[in-house]
Amino acid sequence: MNEQSFASTSVPRHLARGVAGFGALIGAFALLPWIGVASLLLAPVGFIALRGCPTCWAIGLMQTISMGRLQRSCVDGRCQLTLAD
């Protein structure tokens, strides 16, 4: 089974990526009246910081927070989350 993870190594690092990513995306459009079209160069920076999409960043935040606290176990095709031992 291919398990995809969007988690970071720590919550502060993940939040820093979020601040940089969302800040760059907001700045790209908020600065349009003053800087012009050149401000849109911040948009790719934002997407790179968010690793492609804001939704993936949010999923990664949840994974980062729960890392080590939750454990998935599958038996006979049925999976469930339990607290880690």
Using one digit for the tens of pLDDT, what is the confidence trace for 12-41?
Answer: 999 999 999 999 999 999 999 999 999 999
- Per-residue pLDDT tens digits for 42-74: 999 999 999 888 999 999 999 888 887 777 788
Q: Identify the CA nearest to 17 among candidates 44, 57, 56.
A: 57
Q: Check whether 1 has a pLDDT greater than 70.
A: no
Q: Could you tell me the pTM of the whole model? A: 0.75
- Name residue 81's beta-bridge partners: 72
Give me the pLDDT at residue 41, please: 96
Q: Check whether 2 has a pLDDT greater than 60.
A: no
